[in-house]
């Protein structure tokens, strides 16, 4: 019986990882296996099931209809196992076991990781795995217990969210740039300046700035410099390459050192919310709950980060777009 059950589970974890990773090669890297080993494990699984799970080409592997059905069942089975582990752990007072958390690279490095490393120091039986990535991460498919996400949350099913903190953002530039080009006084004046635009996957992020009346305006700016790394954007601003709109936690030390100057400090500033996001489960593991509680307590104390204006309850089933001021206008400056 044990041998039969072991045989039935053989290859399932590899299959789920291959789907979540988007291919055999990426799954092999995550699992520390060769691509050939991943392919053979899935081939054995297909042979045992008597169906083809993937359509294979030389470059891609896409799920078949049977593969989609089997994958959904596997995810539900994995969630049941997690729920069982959580139920067993619910009566324990000691934080133990593995905790996998994904987070944005720079915000994670500067603001989240120091808090979680202190958390791990307090709980020596905790196995903490931190993953830093700015790509969209599927928490359920990739087996993460918790995710940290910045900005508006897109629609998703099977997830809960808790707002942790707010990140104020500031318009800034180097003193030499302002000396040479002057300081813009209005949103319209930005069109005459060089600007440094942060983008992701080729899509530029609009700026949210206050006009002379204090009303937040979403501004889309034309720029010859578009960068997908916030720290490089900040460095370019320090080098006098143009104006930048960046999180205060990233530029705080540069402002203190005098290499960047904040602009429009007498106007309201826009902020970006940070959320903890986790898979819906009937029993939340103690290690996950305490990690969220710790972030909720400590993150607003991080330099350049603030307490959010409102805190929703623990279980917000189904992640939806977070609130942006519905009254804000939109303006394109070219």
User: Is a pLDDT exceeding 80 seen at residue 85?
Assistant: no
Reported confidence tier of residue 299, pLDDT bands at 50, 70, 90: very high
DSSP reduced 3-state for 286: helix
Reported confidence tier of residue 325, pLDDT bands at 50, 70, 90: very low
The domain of 112 spans 89-158+281-299
Residues 144 and 290 in one domain: yes
User: Is a pLDDT exceeding 80 seen at residue 311?
Assistant: no
- Which pTM value belongs to this model? 0.66
Domain assignment present for 246: no
**So what's the pLDDT on residue 3?**
43
Q: What percent of the chain has pLDDT over 90?
A: 41
Q: Which residue has the higher pLDDT, 85 or 111?
A: 111
| Token pair of 110 as six digits | 């500067």
Picking from 195, 170, 183, the residue whose alpha carbon sits closest to that of residue 252 is 170
For residue 225, the surrounding DSSP H or E stretch is: strand 225-227
**So what's the pLDDT on residue 104?**
94
Q: Which residue has the higher pLDDT, 329 or 119?
A: 119
**Domains: count for the chain:** 2
Residues 31 and 78 in one domain: yes
Residue-wise pLDDT for 139-162, tens only, equals: 888 889 999 998 877 766 678 899
Residues 13 and 153 in one domain: no
* Separation CA 148–CA 150 (nearest Å): 7
Alpha carbon 176 to its chain's center: 34
**So what's the pLDDT on residue 278?**
92
Residue-wise pLDDT for 23-82, tens only, equals: 888 888 888 888 888 889 999 989 988 999 998 887 778 889 888 888 888 887 777 776
Q: Which residue has the higher pLDDT, 251 or 212?
A: 251
Here the CATH number for the domain that contains residue 285 is 3.40.190.10
Residues 102 and 154 in one domain: yes
Half-sphere exposure of 290 (CA within 13 A, CB side): 20
Residue-wise pLDDT for 92-104, tens only, equals: 567 888 999 999 9
User: Is a pLDDT exceeding 60 seen at residue 327?
Assistant: no
State the average pLDDT over residues 246-261: 95
| Token pair of 146 as six digits | 């918790």
Residues 26 and 52 in one domain: yes
| Token pair of 172 as six digits | 């800034």
Show Cβ contacts of residue 67 under 8 Å, excluding neighbours closer than 6 positions: 19, 51, 52, 53, 54
To the nearest whole number, what is the mean pLDDT of the chain? 83
Show Cβ contacts of residue 290 under 8 Å, excluding neighbours closer than 6 positions: 95, 119, 123
* Separation CA 26–CA 307 (nearest Å): 38
Strand partners, 172: 244, 262
User: Is a pLDDT exceeding 60 seen at residue 334?
Assistant: no
**So what's the pLDDT on residue 13?**
84
Query: Which residue, 63, 87, 111, sits at the end of a domain?
Result: 87
| Token pair of 204 as six digits | 């530029």
Least confident residue range of 185-189, 269-273, 312-316: 312-316
Reported confidence tier of residue 84, pLDDT bands at 50, 70, 90: low
């Amino acid at each position: 019986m044990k041998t039969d059950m072991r045989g039935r589970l053989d290859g399932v974890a590899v299959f789920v990882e291959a789907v979540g990773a988007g291919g055999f090669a990426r799954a092999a890297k995550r699992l520390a296996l060769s691509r050939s080993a991943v392919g053979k494990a899935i081939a054995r699984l297909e042979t045992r099931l008597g169906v083809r799970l993937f359509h294979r080409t030389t470059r891609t592997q896409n799920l078949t209809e049977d593969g989609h059905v089997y994958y959904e069942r596997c995810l539900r089975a994995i969630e049941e196992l997690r729920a069982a582990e959580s139920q067993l752990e619910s009566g324990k007072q000691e934080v133990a076991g593995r905790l996998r958390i994904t987070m944005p690279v720079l915000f994670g490095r500067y603001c989240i990781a120091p808090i979680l490393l202190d958390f791990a120091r307090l709980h020596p039986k905790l196995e903490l795995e931190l993953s830093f990535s700015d790509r969209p991460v599927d928490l359920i498919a990739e087996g993460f217990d918790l995710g940290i996400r910045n900005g508006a949350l897109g629609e998703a099913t099977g997830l809960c969210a808790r707002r942790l903190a707010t990140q104020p953002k500031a318009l800034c530039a180097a003193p030499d740039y302002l000396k040479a080009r002057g300081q813009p006084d209005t949103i319209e004046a930005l069109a005459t300046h060089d600007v440094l635009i942060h983008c992701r996957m080729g899509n530029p992020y609009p700026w949210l700035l206050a006009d002379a009346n204090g009303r937040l305006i979403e501004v889309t700016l034309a720029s010859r410099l578009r960068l997908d790394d916030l720290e490089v954007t900040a460095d370019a601003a320090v080098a006098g390459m143009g104006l930048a709109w960046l999180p205060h936690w990233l530029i705080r030390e540069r402002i203190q050192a005098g290499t960047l100057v904040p602009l429009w400090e007498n106007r309201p500033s826009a902020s970006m919310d940070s959320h903890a996001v986790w898979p819906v489960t009937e029993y939340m593991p103690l290690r996950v709950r305490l990690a969220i509680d710790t972030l909720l307590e400590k993150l607003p104390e991080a330099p350049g980060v603030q307490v959010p204006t409102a805190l929703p309850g623990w279980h917000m089933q189904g992640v939806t777009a977070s609130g942006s001021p519905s009254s804000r206008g939109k303006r394109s400056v070219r």
